[in-house]
Structure 1
Amino acid sequence: MPLSRRSFLAGAVAAPALAAAAGALGGCAGTVVQPGDLSRLRVMAPASPGGGWDTTARVLQRVIQSSGLARNVQVFNVEGAGGTIGLGQLSRETDDALLMMMGLVMVGAVDTNDSATRLTDVTPIARLIGETELIVAPPDAPYTDIQGFVEAWAADPAGTPIAGGSAGGTDQILAGLLAQAAGIDPAQVNYIAYSGGGESLAALLGGQVAAGISGTADYGEQVRTGDLVGLAVSTAERSQQVPDVPTLVESGFDVEVDNWRGLMARPGMSAGAREDLIALVQDTHDTEEWAQALEDNGWDDLLLTGDEYGEFLAEEEQRVLAILREIGLVQ
């Protein structure tokens, strides 16, 4: 009786494959594996350790290994330029057993960093998860809902500073989309980029900004304790982490943003090699361990694979480029 795809991916490692795995432990590129040989796997997190991409990559690593889908999974970091340094490295790889974590931030970073490598230069494998963006205000703000904030914002965009993450990232994209929906010129948005959620939180608590945008993991606890006021969440459904905070849509603004994360692979790989990577991701997604990881991290299940994921990426590139042009970050 033939082996199932999952059994095939997890087992039957011949001596040549063991030799390839030994070489892969050093993180070197250039090892070409045959389709189906995913006894070992490398996952690039194109950012510093501890961030969202790195965290998601390491959760993926743990689930793949604990469920027996691959015997060895190595995560490594390539920092810089919103992930585009790693994207460029991926475009030069020849290893079929390599995945790169990425997400909405990279879609914008390709244009804001004028990257020579585009997302169309590598191979889409799967969209994995999404995180809810949370819009908050300081506890002493004169508004307690998103409608009140938008009224104050529209009256004085320049005098209503908004804290968020890196320039051109998901937080600023959301600010621009909300401005459009509210009839505010996105180019007039006073967006202040901070290097992390901790810095923007300090600015909010210190009354230095009028509002803040970040993931629910950054601001959710402060909203639950009353140290910050939750104005709205960006996804179609309310977040379980802050269930009392309404969505932008139910508040009257036609804006939805998922801070999604996905996986890409090297260019020029065979159809069989791509299908085996997609099957590995699908099998990982179907485990109880992955379902638990989604719950533990407050992630939304947004699995989308193969060509459908590629079509989604093309649409996201157009949407993000349009708002970045409106904001004035790209020409």
Structure 2
Amino acid sequence: MRRDTFLKSMAALAAAATLPLPALASANVKMMIPANPGGGWDTTGRALGKALQESGAASTVTYDNKGGAAGALGLAQFINGSKNDPNALMVMGAVMLGGIITGKPPVNLSQATPVARITSEYNVFVLPANSPFKTMKDVVEQLKKDPGSVKWGGGSRGSTEHIAAAMIAREVGVDPSKINYVAFRGGGEAIAAILGGNVTIGGSGYSEFSEYIASGKMRPLAVTSATRLKGVNVPTLKEQDINVVIGNWRGVYGAPGITTAQRKELTDRVLKALKSKAWAEALEKNNWTPAVLTGADFEKFVDDDFASLRATMVKSGMV
């Protein structure tokens, strides 16, 4: 994690400790999770909901899972159904930006209200335990021979694992437009496909696959970070002479039409939750890196990341 990002995260959390948070116990937060159960957004949303309750920033949290189109279906439901609701939150992140670029949905993220970036995470590529391949080199050799024979499984089109697969192809001299990518609507579906041997190789955030890696049901090949993840003995793509580094981040947005004061209170609630023991435990359990950013800085980050992702996807032949 970059030092400046870490310092901003710590400063935001420290500031939150002194902020007045009126009537926190009266909040009944409605959490839109624009993905099916079992994936990274679902895990993040439910962990944040638990932290909101434990910290006193909310009395109750209800969840609504709406998967599909890299979060665009959930985004549309959130925008159309939560207008002016000061207690509505939606989980989102880099995957949603990629999905908007590839899918061009009728709704736009700018219609909702930015609240905070909360975590950063890198992807891991895995094989089913019974795969005839053993290493990333084996996969790459097969990819070069016959790109279509390698089925990449992961999240929606435009997800970070989809972009990473295209980048890998490009780096090893394969036309990225020829990769055989199978998109799933949620992490649970992707996990089932990998364990069942229905895809050749799967990718997702490390937290989503960690228990299957630990149990030996999945064989990890590479992580998409610049250096090895803390406590994770899996080589990076760069270590294997594939110059690809790409991260994933997750955040939350508020409903369209809320006032400046309501946005501030919602942001304060989230920041209070991020200081809780429940959230600290979630960070450790899921190997998430805190990456807190709010206000104008978060808005600028989203705009910049959207432009950067689009440029990467164009370069990789995805759009």
Q: How does 1:14-33 map to 2 (within 5 A)?
A: none
Match of 2:292 in 1: 303
Q: Distance in 2 between matches of 1:79 and 1:137?
A: 25
**1:196-244 Cα distance to aligned partner (Å, 9 max, x none):** 133322353xxx6543223334443444455543221113343356x22
Structure 1 position 325, deviation (Å): 4.6
Q: Which residue among 38, 61, 72 is the counterpart of 1:73?
A: 61
- Higher RCO, 1 or 2 (CA under 8 Å, sep at least 6)? 2
- 1:164–1:171 contact (8 Å) kept in structure 2: yes
Q: How does 1:280-295 map to 2 (within 5 A)?
A: 280-295=269-284
Structure 1 position 46, deviation (Å): 2.2
Structure 1 position 51, deviation (Å): 3.6
Match of 1:170 in 2: 160
Letter in structure 2 aligned against 1:294: L
| Consecutive unaligned residues in structure 2, runs of 5 or more | 1-15
**1:239-285 Cα distance to aligned partner (Å, 9 max, x none):** 356x2211223333332233322101123433332222222222221
Q: Distance in 2 between matches of 1:47 and 1:210?
A: 23
Match of 2:13 in 1: none
Structure 1 position 50, deviation (Å): 4.0
Q: Distance in 1 between matches of 2:168 and 2:54?
A: 41
Q: How does 1:99-178 map to 2 (within 5 A)?
A: 99-138=89-128, 144-178=134-168
- 2:172–2:242 contact (8 Å) kept in structure 1: yes
Name the larger-Rg structure: 1
- 1:194–1:200 contact (8 Å) kept in structure 2: no
My pick for the range that moved more, 209-218 or 256-265, is: 209-218
User: Does residue 11 of the first structure (1) align with residue 23 of the second (2)?
Assistant: yes
User: Does residue 94 of the first structure (1) align with residue 84 of the second (2)?
Assistant: yes
- 1:234–1:258 contact (8 Å) kept in structure 2: yes
Match of 1:273 in 2: 262
Letter in structure 2 aligned against 1:75: Y
Q: Distance in 2 between matches of 1:138 and 1:78?
A: 28
Question: Percent identity over the alignment?
Answer: 34
Q: Given the superposition, is the C-alpha separation of residues 284 and 236 from structure 1 closer, same or farther in structure 2, using an over 3 Å criterion?
A: farther
- 2:267–2:294 contact (8 Å) kept in structure 1: yes
Q: How does 1:235-254 map to 2 (within 5 A)?
A: 235-240=225-230, 243-254=232-243
Q: TM-score, normalised by structure 2?
A: 0.79
Q: Which residue among 192, 197, 201 is the counterpart of 1:199?
A: 192
Q: TM-score, normalised by structure 1?
A: 0.77
Q: Distance in 2 between matches of 1:47 and 1:148?
A: 32
**1:74-122 Cα distance to aligned partner (Å, 9 max, x none):** 3333444332233223334111222111122221222333211122222
SS at match of 1:238: coil
SS at match of 1:158: helix
- 1:176–1:323 contact (8 Å) kept in structure 2: no
SS at match of 2:256: coil
Q: Which residue among 199, 205, 209 is the counterpart of 1:215?
A: 205
- 2:167–2:316 contact (8 Å) kept in structure 1: no
Match of 1:179 in 2: 169
- 2:119–2:249 contact (8 Å) kept in structure 1: yes
Q: Given the superposition, is the C-alpha separation of residues 89 and 225 from structure 1 closer, same or farther in structure 2, using an over 3 Å criterion?
A: closer
Match of 1:26 in 2: none
